[in-house]
């Protein structure tokens, strides 16, 4: 059996450090918003190259707090993509704004800057590109579009910790960026977690207040807020894992290179990003000519897999009220029919990658 994802090999490799971090928190007497969260925020901001970072409860909350902090709300429209799962759209709706979708490029499956102008209206306030699978979206073109029209740019970095765009870490280019520490992510907690980064001090103040009931440190709500805190145990674990992130990302890249070489002549396309960027390989995604046959072969061999994502958000039942029909976003819709994620995580054995490749080649 080869699972699609398993956090345990990495845990076993770092067990002493992680267990010690958890024990340190339990002995400290402080479980919420203490020294670990403060130190992790500082270390993560330094890693991304932003002035500040604020730990929150999830990647979805990080998007919600970034939108609220940038004063996006009812009556506003936000441009994003439909092939990256529900969270970005759920966050836009949670602040009372309307999602407007931009199709993706057929080669990279990332937001196509050529579609931005047509999706814009006088109510557009913000753009949220998703660095899908670990590949940075075209931040030059998207950033230029935002500057031209006075829109805020929020990077969804939930799948791209450590990826770079023209040598700069993703998350440092937009007005704000959201990271998730959901266990499967490149930097994964052992539970839920997320974080907002940015460089405007006014935005930092709004996000910090809104993370906890709108408090400014004294129990009086200055603005309406939420309860969305990163806890001390997760922050302590994340501090350990952040120190090893360059190494675990390099391991992901090497396993991905092994897949790419093995599948060179296979009947599939690979989602490998554009030039000018470093891919963080959150997922290794292939686009087989016959996805059903490949899935059947993986199932028969006891090999895990995933589909990220099976349906574009604009066609999901919950979002029917948007009134969008099949054919609206042809590349996003096609991508959902094609993509297949193969096992990829730190500690996955190279020989397991070889077995996955052999299984797929024999099914082709
Ligand atoms: C995981 C993910 C999120 C949300 O993160 P949670 O921590 O699960 O709330 C947002 N956007 C993308 C693209 C993601 O993959």
Ligand 1 closest atom vs CA 132: 13
pLDDT digits (tens, 9 = 90+) for 229-272: 999 999 999 999 999 999 999 999 999 999 999 999 999 998 77
CA 220 – ligand 1 centroid, Å: 31
CA 359 – ligand 1 centroid, Å: 30
Give the model's pLDDT for residue 323.
Answer: 97
- Cβ neighbours of residue 241 closer than 8 Å, sequence gap 6 or more: 10, 14, 18, 187, 188, 248
Give the model's pLDDT for residue 294.
Answer: 98
Give the model's pLDDT for residue 364.
Answer: 84
Shortest CA distance to 196 belongs to which of 97, 28, 60?
Answer: 60
Give the model's pLDDT for residue 122.
Answer: 98
Give the model's pLDDT for residue 240.
Answer: 98
List residues near ligand 1 (CB under 6 A).
58-60, 84-85, 87-88, 130, 156, 158-159, 180, 182, 192, 194
- Please name the residue that has the structure tokens 């050529």: 114
Give the model's pLDDT for residue 348.
Answer: 98
* 98-134 exposure pattern, b = at least 16 Cβ within 10 A, e = fewer: ebbbbbbbeebbbbbbebbeeebeeebbbbbbbbbbb
Q: Any bridge partners for residue 270, and if so which?
A: 286
Give the model's pLDDT for residue 217.
Answer: 82
CA 180 – ligand 1 centroid, Å: 6
Q: CA-CA distance, 81 to 101, in Å (whole number)? A: 5
The best mutation among 56, 90, 91, 159 to test binding of ligand 1, ranked by most ligand atoms within 8 Å of the C-beta, falls on 159
Q: CA-CA distance, 162 to 21, in Å (whole number)? A: 23
CA 59 – ligand 1 centroid, Å: 5
CA 58 – ligand 1 centroid, Å: 8
Ligand 1 closest atom vs CA 308: 15
CA 300 – ligand 1 centroid, Å: 30
User: What order of strands is seen across the sheet that includes strand 277-278?
Assistant: 168-169, 164-165, 277-278
pLDDT digits (tens, 9 = 90+) for 261-275: 999 999 999 877 667
- Please name the residue that has the structure tokens 């408090």: 215
Going by CA atoms, what residue is nearest to atom 10 of ligand 1?
87
Give the model's pLDDT for residue 267.
Answer: 94
| Helix 350-362 with 291-300: angle, nearest 10 deg | 120
The best mutation among 136, 154, 182, 189 to test binding of ligand 1, ranked by most ligand atoms within 8 Å of the C-beta, falls on 182
Give the count of beta carbons closer than 10 Å to the beta carbon of residue 76: 18
Give the model's pLDDT for residue 272.
Answer: 74
Give the model's pLDDT for residue 270.
Answer: 87
Residue spans of the chain under pLDDT 70: 273-274
Ligand 1 closest atom vs CA 193: 7
CA 90 – ligand 1 centroid, Å: 10
CA 258 – ligand 1 centroid, Å: 27
Ligand 1 closest atom vs CA 192: 7
Ligand 1 closest atom vs CA 181: 7
């Amino acid at each position: 059996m080869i699972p699609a994802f398993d956090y345990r090999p990495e845990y076993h490799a770092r067990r002493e450090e992680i267990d010690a971090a958890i024990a340190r928190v339990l002995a400290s007497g402080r479980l919420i918003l203490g020294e670990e969260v403060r130190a992790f925020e500082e270390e993560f901001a330094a890693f991304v190259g932003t002035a500040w970072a604020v730990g929150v409860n999830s990647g979805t909350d990080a998007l919600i707090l970034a939108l609220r902090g940038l004063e996006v709300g009812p009556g506003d429209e936000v441009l994003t993509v439909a092939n990256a799962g529900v969270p970005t759209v759920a966050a836009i709706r949670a602040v009372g704004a309307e999602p407007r979708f931009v199709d993706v490029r057929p080669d990279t499956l990332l937001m196509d800057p050529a579609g931005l102008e047509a999706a814009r209206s006088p109510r557009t306030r913000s753009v949220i590109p998703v660095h899908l699978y670990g590949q940075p979206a075209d931040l030059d073109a998207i950033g230029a579009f935002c500057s031209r029209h006075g829109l805020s740019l929020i990077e969804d970095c939930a799948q791209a910790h450590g990826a770079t765009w023209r040598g700069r870490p993703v998350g440092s280019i937009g007005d704000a960026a959201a990271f998730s520490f959901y266990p499967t992510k490149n930097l994964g907690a052992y539970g839920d977690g997320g974080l907002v980064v940015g460089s405007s001090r006014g935005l930092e103040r709004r996000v910090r207040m809104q993370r906890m009931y709108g408090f400014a440190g004294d129990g009086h709500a200055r603005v309406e807020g939420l309860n969305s805190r990163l806890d001390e145990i997760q922050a302590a674990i994340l501090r350990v894992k952040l120190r090893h992130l360059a190494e675990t990302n390099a391991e992901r890249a090497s396993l991905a290179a092994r897949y790419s070489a093995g599948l060179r002549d296979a009947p599939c396309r690979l989602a490998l990003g554009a030039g000018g960027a470093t891919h963080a390989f959150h997922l290794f995604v292939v686009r087989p000519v016959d996805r059903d046959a490949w899935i059947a072969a993986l199932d028969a061999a006891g090999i895990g897999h995933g589909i990220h994502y099976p349906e574009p958000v604009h066609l999901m039942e919950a979002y029917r009220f948007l009134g969008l029909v099949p054919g609206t976003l042809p590349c996003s819709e096609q991508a959902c029919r094609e993509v297949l994620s193969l096992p990829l995580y730190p500690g996955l054995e190279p020989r397991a990658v070889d077995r996955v490749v052999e299984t797929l080649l024999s099914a082709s």
